[in-house]
């Protein structure tokens, strides 16, 4: 080796590179100016010859072997660093040319790393991960990963024989971030990070910020370019920003993309682009306003349904590419369908290629298993107190709104995040600093996430699946709330399913389970849910939960859906339940669409379709969902009859709806019902119609209210109440119908005396004679008796005598 070159060698640093322990490879590799010229060094294991080729110059400079492991160096007689590449001959005789990845500056600023370390770099996904870009006119891919406790991190893939010695990454300052720009790479490359932990353990990890991943069981990350999809949903986004979903109808259709429908050509899954038109057509036909997708983030195990995520920034490759999912989202918006996605920041799986023990330490999770693991789920819990972990999750929620235009994020298992002892026995958890079981770090995370999210993503909903009585889940962060827009009403769901599962003869004693939800209905902004969790693992489908014979099951289910649709709160129903699939949901099978060949299932589907249309046409059913003025009980104490009567209201009296629910199999032919206002009531919906599979117990004629007290109301109507059904009446202001005369035996005379203001003063006898003449045809014996008694009493009073008079015969 040339002496000048030899003297320039940093042999200790070379050894660190050769032994793969260097975290500042740019300080040695690449081109560096020296007093004697430009020193260029590279480490290419398996290379036997390497020369430097300078752009625009025919001459090449052979490099000398500094270490037999593949370390080469050359001293160019130049004062400035030229544009160059390496020409390589490998030990198998193949040749190649590559640009030097160690001549490029960091693409992440120091300021950005400081914000990331503080947990407030909300667009960190633009830098961390793998991003195709052009640097100094050179196309390539920029890689960056957070692994602060690693000794060394390298990018590996087909492009370097998956050899972690070849492309070590540079540690940026004290941020814990490693980065490297590799020229010549493009979207579609497979890659992972090889991490050498302190102690020498070396292993591969998938990229936590990867935008795509291999189809399971393979686990490599894939370079993806998200910049080129042509979105056409600007009109939808603009409308969404102005919309107030609290005062609009919202009925969400929850579905699992992998089992909604299966291909008939032998494939396991449809593509996102194939699913989009099929799902949109069905959703529009049924009248749902939104769909909710069970997790579409990459996950290794089909049986987890997506709730054990390993690729938080990557749509699962089961159904296609990131651009395919963009197409899906764009198509839904073009069809005026909102899309909510499930998101799982509560826990992550222990798969060794994922986040667990990422850099040789418990980086994303807690070190103490009492804090960092779910004993029942077998998963790990995020360390919400670490700023970079919090940043990873907050940025991820923003990522799905920014890059995929989602309309809402439903956060899974919020209760497990709020409580330190969730799912744990005594001795299995660690109390907070005040000795309580509240996860104070998770509470701060929710407030931080929701405040930033609402600031940046106008009109996008944040929904909590929270199953406890934690206060102010949907409260304003400024008032010590968690800041969510909506909360799943798990209490209503459990109580209602429990009630509906009973035989009607046992329902009276459980009547409170129907009515209890209204005690706390306005404590949060609730969504009523009948979700996937209620139709799996032996719980039975919704139709399977209903008691009675086959016909009664369908009647029960129609009544159940009717009560849900008229109860305050937005609605959610899982796929397959709208046409009463008897089988439980199975993620390995498609829905049993062939059931629609049978009348009863087709009628149930028609019932839901018509109810959705009716729901969206009636402002009373959605406009004041979160205002107590929007609901009023008429009769809540009919436990023995399994009945409820209530109204749904708006600010306009004429939009009032009277709702009568009967959860018994008995028909009430002439049932008197109290009404909120005098006027006309018309039945506009009935679950017992023949076209829905019912027996036709309906009220075809307009009902004029009467001045007869019922249910503590001065006015009432008499209706036929359908068995195991629901009847809904609209209100129109009208002339009050007079009270119907009763028989003498039923009537108390004092109640039927009509006192009129006379035009001129008459004697009592003259008034009675005139009244009898005017109403002779309507007069009953009891009225004559009353008149005669009154006249007799008057005469007695006038004469001053106490002589008893004989009662006259009629």
Active-site residue numbers?
A: 412, 465
Per-residue tokens: 669: 């032919």
H helix count then E strand count, the chain? 20, 37
Largest CA distance in the chain: 152
Which residues face 342 on adjacent strands? 410
How far is it, in rounded angstroms, from Cα 278 to Cα 557? Answer: 26
Count of beta carbons in the 10 Å neighbourhood of residue 681 = 26
How far is it, in rounded angstroms, from Cα 118 to Cα 107? Answer: 19
Distances in Å between the Cα of 431 and the Cα atoms of 71, 381, 437, 473 are 54, 15, 5, 22
How far is it, in rounded angstroms, from Cα 497 to Cα 502? Answer: 9
Per-residue tokens: 809: 């015969």
Q: By the 8 A CB rule, do 75 and 2 touch?
A: yes
Q: By the 8 A CB rule, do 248 and 621 touch?
A: no
Dihedral sign, CA of 785, 790, 791, 797? positive
DSSP string, 48-95: EEEEEEETT---EEEPEEEETTTEEEEEES-SSPPPEEEEEEETTS-E
DSSP string, 522-534: TTS-EEEEE-GGG
Provide the 3-class DSSP secondary structure of residue 448: helix
Contacts of 559 (CB under 8 A, 6+ apart): 661, 662, 663, 687, 724, 725, 726
Q: By the 8 A CB rule, do 172 and 124 touch?
A: no
Closest among 275, 318, 315 to 296, alpha carbons compared: 315
How far is it, in rounded angstroms, from Cα 396 to Cα 125? Answer: 8
Which residues face 157 on adjacent strands? 191
Closest among 510, 572, 501 to 541, alpha carbons compared: 501
Torsion of CA 779, 783, 784, 790, to 10 degrees: -150
């Amino acid at each position: 080796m040339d002496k000048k070159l030899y003297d320039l060698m940093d042999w200790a640093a070379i050894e660190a590179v050769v032994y793969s322990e260097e975290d500042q490879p740019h300080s040695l590799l690449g081109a560096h100016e020296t007093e004697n010229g430009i020193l260029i060094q590279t480490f290419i294991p398996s290379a036997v010859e390497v020369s430097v080729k300078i752009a625009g110059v025919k001459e090449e400079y052979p490099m000398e072997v500094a270490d037999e492991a593949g370390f080469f160096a050359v001293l160019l007689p130049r004062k400035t660093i030229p544009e160059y590449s390496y020409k390589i001959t490998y030990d198998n005789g193949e040749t190649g040319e590559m640009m030097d990845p160690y001549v490029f500056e960091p693409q992440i600023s120091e300021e950005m790393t400081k914000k990331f370390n503080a947990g407030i770099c909300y667009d960190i996904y633009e830098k961390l991960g793998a991003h195709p870009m052009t640097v100094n006119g050179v196309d390539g891919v920029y890689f960056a990963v957070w692994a602060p406790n690693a000794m060394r991190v390298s990018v590996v893939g087909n492009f370097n024989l998956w050899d972690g010695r070849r492309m070590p990454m540079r540690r940026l300052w004290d941020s814990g971030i490693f980065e490297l720009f590799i020229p010549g790479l493009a979207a579609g490359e497979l890659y992972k990070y090889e991490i050498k932990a302190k102690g020498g353990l070396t292993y591969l990890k998938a990229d936590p910020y990867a935008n795509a991943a291999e189809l399971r069981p393979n686990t490599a990350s894939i370079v993806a370019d998200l910049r080129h999809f042509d979105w056409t949903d600007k009109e939808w986004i603009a409308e969404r920003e102005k919309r107030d979903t609290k005062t609009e109808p919202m009925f969400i259709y929850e579905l699992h993309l992998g089992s909604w429908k299966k291909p008939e050509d032998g494939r396991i899954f449809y593509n996102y682009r194939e699913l989009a038109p099929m799902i949109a057509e069905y959703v529009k036909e049924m009248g749902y306003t939104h769909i909710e997708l069970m997790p579409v983030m990459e996950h290794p195990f089909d049986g987890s349904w997506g709730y054990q995520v390993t690729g938080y920034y990557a749509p699962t490759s089961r159904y296609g590419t990131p651009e395919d999912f963009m197409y899906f989202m764009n198509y839904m918006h073009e069809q005026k369908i909102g899309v909510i996605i499930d998101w799982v920041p509560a826990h992550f799986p222990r798969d060794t290629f994922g986040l667990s023990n990422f850099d040789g330490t418990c980086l994303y999770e807690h070190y103490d298993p009492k804090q960092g693991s779910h004993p029942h789920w077998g998963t790990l819990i995020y360390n919400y107190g670490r700023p970079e972990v919090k940043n990873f999750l907050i940025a991820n929620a923003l990522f799905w709104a920014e890059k995929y235009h989602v309309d809402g994020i439903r956060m899974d298992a919020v209760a497990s995040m709020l409580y330190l002892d969730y799912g744990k026995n005594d001795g299995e958890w660690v109390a907070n600093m005040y000795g309580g079981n509240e996860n104070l770090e998770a509470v701060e995370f929710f407030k931080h996430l929701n405040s930033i999210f609402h600031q940046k993503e106008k009109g996008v909903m944040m929904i909590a699946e929270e199953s406890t009585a934690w206060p102010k889940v949907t409260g304003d962060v400024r008032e010590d709330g968690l800041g969510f827009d909506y909360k799943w009403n798990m209490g209503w769901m459990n109580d209602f399913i429990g009630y509906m599962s009973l035989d009607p003869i046992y329902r009276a004693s459980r009547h409170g389970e129907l009515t209890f939800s209204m005690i706390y209905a306005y404590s949060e902004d609730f969504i009523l849910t009948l979700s996937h969790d209620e139709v799996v693992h032996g719980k039975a489908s919704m139709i399977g939960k209903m008691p009675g014979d086959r016909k009664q099951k369908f009647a029960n289910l129609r009544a159940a859906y009717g009560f849900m649709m008229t109860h305050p709160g937005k609605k959610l129903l899982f796929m397959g339940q709208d046409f009463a699939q008897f089988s439980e949901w199975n993620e390995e099978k498609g829905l049993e669409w062939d059931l629609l060949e049978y009348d009863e299932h087709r009628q149930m589907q028609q019932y839901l379709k018509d109810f959705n249309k009716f729901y969206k046409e009636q402002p009373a059913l959605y406009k004041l969902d979160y205002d107590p003025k929007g609901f009023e009980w008429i009769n809540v104490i009919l436990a023995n009859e399994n009945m409820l009567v209530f109204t749904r209201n708006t600010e306009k009296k004429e939009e009032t709806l009277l709702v009568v629910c009967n959860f018994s199999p008995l028909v009430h032919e002439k049932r008197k019902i109290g009404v909120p206002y005098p006027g006309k009531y018309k039945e506009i919906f009935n679950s017992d119609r023949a076209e829905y599979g019912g027996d036709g117990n309906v009220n075809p004629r307009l009902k004029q209210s009467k001045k007869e007290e019922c249910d503590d109301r001065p006015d009432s109507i008499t209706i036929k109440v359908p068995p195991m059904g629901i009847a809904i009446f609209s209100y129109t202001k009208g002339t009050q119908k007079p009270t119907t005369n009763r028989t003498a035996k039923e009537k108390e005379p004092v109640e039927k005396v009509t006192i009129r203001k006379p035009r001129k003063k008459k004697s009592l006898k003259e008034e009675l004679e005139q009244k009898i003449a005017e109403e002779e045809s309507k007069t009953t014996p009891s009225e004559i008796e009353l008149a005669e008694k009154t006249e007799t009493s008057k005469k007695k009073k006038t004469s001053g005598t106490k002589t008893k008079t004989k009662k006259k015969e009629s």
